[in-house]
Structure 1
C-alpha cells in the first residue's frame, strides 16, 4: 500500500520489485568493479514532526558524500559514493536503516571515527543503541543482500528466492519517504553504460536477481 501526503512524502510498507532487483544487481556491480560492499551499518533514527527517518538518513548520507568528495580531491580519480540502503520499522516505533556501502580501505579508520559524529550532528546525542557497524565478508555479501530486501512485496518473494529467509521475510512496517535505494554510482544508468551483465545463477538457491 502506498499513499501520498501533500503530493510529496509517501508511506510504504514493502520494497518494490524493481528496487529489490536493483539492490541485488548493485551488490554484483560493486564487486565486479573492484569496490565491493565492505561495511554494514544499522542506524536507529529519531523521527520528529519536522524530519522523518528518510530525511534524517539523507542528511547523514550527504555528510558521507561530502567527506568522500573531500578525500577524492587528493586522489588521481574521484571516488563516487557506492551504497544501498533499506528502511525498516516493524514495531511502528523504531525506524532504522540498513546501509551497506563501500569505504576505501585507506579511509576506513577515518570513516569509523566520523560516522558517530555525523549521526550526532543530524539527530542529537548518541545512545548505546543508536548505531552498530561491522565489516562485510565477501562470502556473506549475497546473504546480506537478501536480508536487506526481506521486506519485498509478497508477490515477488518466490521470484527472488526470499522464502529461504524463513521467518525474517515479510512486512517491515510503514516508512515515510523513500524506503530503499541505490547510490547513482551503482544505479541502472551507470550499470548500463558499463554494459554490465549480472551473472547467471546455476541454482535457485543461489539466484538473487532475475
Structure 2
C-alpha cells in the first residue's frame, strides 16, 4: 500500500452508529469512480485497499490503506473529499480527511493492528503496539476483493501448480 487515508467521523459530526454505513457508501462510490476512470482514460489497475475502524474515546475514525499509482494522489484525495462531502452534507477539510504517503510499510501495518486482540498481538510480537480502540459497530477490519480470502486462495493454488 502506498498511501493512508484517515477519515475522522467525529469531526464530520457523523454519529458512531452511522460511521460504518457512511464508510461503506463512500467505499462503493470511490470504487465505482475508480472503475470508471480505469475504463475511460486512466491506467489505474485494480483498487487494492484494507481498512480499520477505530473508536478511541468515542471518536470514530477509519484508517484506509490504499495502493495509488504515482501521480494520482491529488485526483484520489479530491475524489474522496467530493464523495464524502456529498454523503456528510458538508465540506471536508484537512482536519476531517487526511491522505499521507506510506514511507514504512511495516510501521503502517503495526499501526493498523493496534486494536487487535491482545493474545493475538502477543503471539505475533506486537504487544507493545496494542491499545484500546473502543467499541466499533460492525466490522473493525476489511479488505478489497482483490486482497480478500478468495483472491489469496486462488493465488496460493496458482503458485502451487506452477512450482509442482
Which residue is equivalent to 2:74?
109
Gaps of 5+ in 1: 1-36, 197-210
Partner of 1:47: 14
Q: Could you tell me how far apart the structure 2 residues matched to 1:82 and 1:57 are?
A: 16
Mapped contact 1:44–1:95 kept (Cα < 8 A):
yes
Q: Which residue of 2 aligns with 1:157?
A: 121
Normalization by structure 2: what TM-score? 0.83
Structure 1-normalised TM-score?
0.66
Deviation at 1:47, TM superposition (A): 2.9
**Are residues 1:88 and 2:54 paired?**
yes
Q: CA deviation at 1:48?
A: 3.9
**2:5 is the counterpart of 1:59:** no
**CA RMSD, aligned part only?**
2.3
| 1:207 paired residue number | none
SS of 1:146's partner is: helix
The residue matched to 1:91 in structure 2 has which SS?
Answer: helix
Contiguous gaps of at least 5 residues in structure 2? 158-164
Task: Judge conservation of contact 2:118–2:127 (CA < 8 Å) in 1.
Answer: no
Structure number with higher helix proportion: 2
Q: 1:60 offset after TM fit, Å? A: 1.1
